[in-house]
Chains A and B, each alone.
Chain A
Amino acid sequence: MKILNIQRMSTEDGPGIRTTLFVKGCPLSCKWCHNPESISPSSHTEWISVRCMGCNTCIQVCPKQALSSTENGIEIDQERCIACGKCAEECPTGAIEVKGINRSIDSLYKELIKDKSYWGKDGGVTLSGGEITMQSADSLLLAKKLHENNIRVAIDTCGFCKWETLKKLVDYTDIFLYDLKIFDPKKHLEFTGQDNSVIFENFELLAKECKEKKKTLWVRTPIIPRATDSDENISSLAKIIGDKADLWELCAFNNLCKDKYDRLKKDWDYCSSPLMEAARMKELVKIAIDNGGKNVIWSGMTKREE
C-alpha cells in the first residue's frame, strides 16, 4: 500500500480518538485541496526549506542530477526525479522527504493499533486519503484485518470509485465519512476535475446499504469560498442528503496548507482567502436544516472575533 503518513491521536477524523492512515493518490483534484501532496498516485520528492542547513549533500548524491541549488533554495526537477529516496536518506536534517512510501499491510496494521488503549468506546482507525478506495484491494485487506480484530474502522472517501469497491468495504467498516461537495455537475467538474454523477449514485447506494447493515454514515461538506459556500449548493445538497446521514458536518475552510503548495511549486487559488466567519457557518447550517438536512453541525477554525 502506498501511504503518505500515519496520524496518531487524531481528534478530527471521526468519532473518538483515532489513528488515521493517509494514502497517496486521489481521483479528484479539488482546487482547495488541503493535502495537495496526496493527489498524485506516484511518489515524489519534496524539499522543506525551514529544515535545510544548506549542505548540498542531496545534490551530490542524486543519481539522476535532478536537484540543483538556486537562489530560491533547492529545486527538484520532478521530471528527472525517480523518487529513489537517496537524497532523503542522506539529508542530515530531514529537509527532504519522499512522499508516498510502500508499506506492507502487516507492518501498517502493527503500527495502526499501537494506540488501541486510547480509542475508548468510539475511536478506532480511519482510512483516509488521498482516496483510500483507489487502492481498492489493499484497503479491503486492511479494513478486513482491522475489523476481524474488533477495531472500529472508518472509511473517509470522496465517493468517486466503483460501487463494488465501496460495497465490499461495508462489511468491514463501522462508519463512512463521505464527502459531498458540489451539487452542480458543471461546477463540480470545474472545481474537482471530475463529474459528480458517480459520487451521488454511490451515495444513494451506500446510504441504503448502511441502513440495512446498521453502519454509520457521516457526510462532510467542505465549505469553500466561491466553490461550495453558496446558499443554493447547501440547500440542493440538503435535499439529497435529507435524513440519510447520521451526521452532516459542514467543515469551514482553512488556509493552513499554504506551505504545502509552495513546496509543490504549485499556485493555490486560495492562498489569500480569509477564514470563514462563524456567523456564515451558522447560517449555512440553518439553510441545510431548512431544506431537510438532519443532524447538521459545523466545525473548523473561523475568523477570530474582535
Chain B
Amino acid sequence: MAKYQDAIKQPGNLSPRVKWLRDYYFEGVDRPWNNEYSAYTTGTPWDTQFDEITYYIVPETYPFIPTFLASLKQISKEIPVDDDFWKMSIPERKAFFTKKAAVEYLPMEVLPGDLLCGARFNMMYSMCLNKKEQAARDKLIKDARKSMLALHNHGYGNSGATSGHLVPDYAKIIRHGFKAEYEKIKSLYEALSEKDKNGRKGNNLRAMMTACKMPKELAEKYSKFCISLAEKEKDPERKQELLVMAQNMAKVPWNPAENFYEGVQSLWLTHMLVMSDEKYPGPGVSFGRVDQYLYPLYEKSIKEGMSKDFMKEILGCFWVHANTAYDAQIRVGGNQGITAGFGQLLTLSGMGKDGKDMTNDLTYLILDVIDDMSPILEPKPNVRLHNNSPEALMDKIVDMVCRSQGAPFLLNFDERSMAGMLRESKKANIPNLINEENVCEYAPVGCLENTMVGNDRSGTVDSNVNLLKAMELVYGNGRDMLPYLDPMSGKWTPLTQDGPKTGNLKELDTFEKFYKAYEEQTKYVLRRMVENYEKSENIRYNFNPTPYLSVLVNGCAEKGLDVTQGGAEISFVTMEAVTYATTVDSLLAVKYLVYDKKECTLEELVKALKSNWKGYEVLQNKALYKAPKYGRDDDEADALAKKVMDCWSEETWKFRTKCTGRQFRPGMLSWNYWIGNGFILKASANGRNEAQFLSNAICPSNGADINGPTANSNSVGIALGGNGENGDYQDYFNCLPNGASHTITFNTSLLRDAEHKEKFKSFLKGYTKNGGTALQINILDAEVLKDAQKHPKDYRHLLVRITGYNAYFVSVGKELQDEIIARESHKTY
C-alpha cells in the first residue's frame, strides 16, 4: 500500500456536474467519445495531412515522421471539392476546407451536464495543395528534414516553425464578436486596389473573411444540436440548460458576449478553433489575462444575479474542455495521451498602469477553480506577482503552493519581465508597440514565454540552441570533438570543418584566447540555428497559412499578411538557449583547471573529455567539486555567467528570417531538451559525463546550488542583468525578453505552519526584487517520490513540475524520476 497517498493533492469542492465531467475525462480511452484526431483529405493522391515542420522541435518524434504521414493519410476521410476550389489561392482553399471540415464533418457532442459547447477540435486536415505545389513543398521538406536531422544529431539543438505560442486577441471577440472583425476585414478588402485584390493581400483577406464565418456556422450548428437535445431531454432543469446553451450559440462568438456565461462560451469556441486551424492540440495557444478581460462581464453578471457557484461550474466545464486537447494522442503511452503540458496558459493578476495592482474578485474566483480542479494539467495558470501584489493574494498563493506537490501555477514576476519586454522594444525599435504605458499588458504563453497580447507572435519555442556545442567546436578547432552517430542509419559521421578555425589547443594558451574562441564558435552555432530555421519558416510562409488565427492576431488583416507570413504587429522568433549553466560551469572549470590552477593542460582536459573522463577521475572530481559554479551567488562565477549571457543574447538580436523578416530575440526555456540532448552532447568540462543531463534553462547545474534558494535566485537575477541605475524598467535589467525558466524544489518542511508560510511569502517578495522572470516551485518530499516510484498506480495524479511544464510523476521515465528525487531538496534543519 502506498504510504503517503494521503499527502497528495486531491480535487476539492466540485459540483456533481463538474465532478462527473472531470472523472469522465480521466476515464480516457474507456470514454465512449474522445477528441482524437479526425483526418480529412481533398482526395488527391499526393495529399498529406501531417505537418511535420511543427514537430521539428520535438526530437522524440523524428523517427515517427514517415509513420505519422502515412497513417494519417490512410485514415483520412475525403471531403469532396469542386474545380472552383482549385482555382482559389492556398489561404482561401485552407479557410474553405477547414471551415467545411469543422462545421460539416467533425462530430458534435454535448456531454451530460456540460454547460459549454464545442467538443471536437483535434483535426488533421488536407494540405489543400495542387500537384505542383505539393511537389514543390515536398522538395523543400526533404531539404529541411535533412538539415534538421543534421543539426540535432550533431548536438546543435533543433529549430522549426511551430504552431501556437501566442495570445490571440480573444478579448476583442468577446467584446465585439467575429461580426465586427468580418466587417473590418471586409472594408479593408474593399479599400484595396484591383491589383491588390487579385494579389496576395486580396487572397489573404478573402481567406480571413471565410475564416470569420467558421465559428459562426459551427456555433449555429451547435445551437440547433442543443435544441434537438432539449427536445429529447426529460429532466426539465437540464432541458432549460440546453435551451440556454442553444441561445448562447445562436449569439456568440459572432456577436458580442453580454454576460459571463456567454463570455466564457465565446472564449472557448474561439480558442478551440485555433487548435483546429493549426492542426495542433494546445500548442501554447494561451488565453492571456482572463481575469482582466472577462471582469466587466463578471461584474455585470454578478449584478444581474448570477451566482458565483454557477460561474465556477461554467469554468469547471471550461477546464475539462481544455484538457481534451490531450485526446489527440489518447492511445499513445500509458497515461491516456496525457504526457506533459501542452501549455494553454492563462494569466492572473499582475500590474496595471503606474504599478497599480489589478487583482480582482474574478482572480480569486479563478484561483478557487484551480484549487478545486487540480491536479489537472490544462489550462496552465500563471500568476503575475510584483512589488505591490496584495497580501491576500500572496496568502492564497502560498496556501495553494503548500497543499500541492508542484505549485498548481507558475509565478511570473512583473518588474523583471517588463524590463525584458522594454529591452525588446529598444532592440527592435518598436516603441509604438511596446512602451512604459502598455508593457504591463504583457502575458506569458506556452510555459512562461513573455509576449505582448493579441498582436504578437514571437515563435517562443521555435529555435532551441545548445550553447555547449560551441565548447565542443573550440576543442575540435571548428570540427566536432568526436564523431557523431546518426541514429537512423547507425553510421558515424566523418569529422568535417563545420565551424570557424579558432586555433588549435596549443595556441589557446590563455583563458582570454580560449574565451574568444568560444565566442566565435557561439556565433557560428547561432548562425547554423538560424539557417536551419529559415527552411521550415519558408515552407510555412509559402504553403501553410492559418487564416483563422490571422483574424485573431492584430496586424495581419491590416497588412494583408497571414500570421505565418509575419503578419503580426510584433513578430519575432525566439532563440531559446539550452545548457546555459553547463556551459558557464564548463568555462569556469576550464579556467580553473587549465589556466588558474594548472592542474592539466588544455590538451589533457580535451583528452579526458574524449574518453568520457575515464581514467581522469581525479580531474573530473576537481571539475565537479573544486571549480567555481554558477548559482552560488559567487560574484566571480556570476560575472562570467553574465558575460556568456551577453555574448549569445546580443548575437541573437543580429539575425532575422529572410522570407518573413522576423528578428530573433533571446530567451531560456529548454523544455525537456536538457534531458535528451544530454545523450548527444559529449562529456563536458564541468565534470559531467556523456549521457548525463544538462542544465535546465536558467537553473544552475544540478547540485551546484549549494548555498540554497536565495543564492540560486540571486545568481539567476544577476545573469539576466541584475538591478542598478537606468534599468530597462525601473532599476531592473533583463536581457531576455522571452524570460527564463527557473525551478526550485523546496522541502515540505519549509511550509509547515503559518509562521513558515509567512517566511515563504518573504522569500517570494525577495525573488520579485532579485530573481528572474518566472519561478516554478516544487514542494516535494523525496520519500513520497520514492514511494511513488514503487507504487506508481497509487500516485497517478502526483503532479510535478519539470521545466516550464507540469508532468505526472509516474508518467515520466525512470531516469527523470531519479533525477527529480536526486535534485537538491532545500531542507532547513
Contact = CB atoms under 8 A, between A and B. Distances in A.
Interface of A: 7-12, 16-17, 51, 53, 55, 57, 92-94, 114-115, 117-120, 122-123, 254, 256, 300-301
B708 A118 contact: no
A94 to B, nearest CB: 4
B621 interface: yes
A297 to B, nearest CB: 9
Nearest to B620: A92
A92 B618 contact: yes
B22 interface: no
Given A11-B828, A115-B710, A17 B618 contact: no
Interface string B743-767: 0000000100000101101110111
B766 A93 contact: no
Contacts of A55: 617-618
B629 interface: no
B762 A92 contact: no
25 contacts: A8-B707, A8-B708, A8-B710, A9-B708, A9-B710, A9-B763, A9-B828, A11-B828, A12-B828, A16-B762, A17-B710, A17-B759, A53-B618, A92-B618, A92-B621, A92-B622, A93-B621, A94-B626, A115-B711, A119-B762, A120-B762, A120-B765, A123-B762, A256-B829, A301-B829
A57 B626 contact: no
Interface residues of B, number: 30
Contacts of A300: 829
Nearest to B714: A114
Contacts of A51: 625
Contact of B759 (A7, A8, A16): A16
**Across the A-B interface, the 10 shortest Cβ-Cβ residue pairs:** A118-B766, A120-B762, A92-B621, A117-B766, A117-B769, A94-B625, A92-B622, A9-B710, A115-B710, A93-B621
Interface in B761-782: 761-763, 765-767, 769-770
A223 to B, nearest CB: 15
Given A53-B618, A118-B766, 7 more contacts: A12-B828, A12-B829, A53-B617, A55-B618, A92-B618, A115-B710, A120-B765
B633 interface: yes
A160 to B, nearest CB: 24
A122 B762 contact: yes
Contacts of B762: 16-17, 118-120, 122-123
A118 B765 CA distance: 7
A117 B828 CA distance: 19
Contacts, number: 77
Contact of B711 (A8, A12, A92, A256): A8
Q: Chain B: interface secondary structure?
A: helix
Contacts of B619: 92
Contacts of A119: 762, 766
A140 to B, nearest CB: 27
B618 A57 contact: yes
B742 interface: no
B253 interface: no
Nearest to A93: B621
Contacts of B767: 118
A254 B829 contact: yes
A63 B619 CA distance: 23
> Which interface residue of B618, B633, B759, B767 has the most chain A CB atoms within 10 A?
B759
Contacts of B263: none
Contacts of B709: 9
Contacts of A114: 633, 710-711, 714
B826 interface: yes
A92 B759 contact: no
A302 to B, nearest CB: 12
A248 B596 CA distance: 52
A92 B592 CA distance: 13
Contacts of A94: 625-626
A129 B539 CA distance: 67
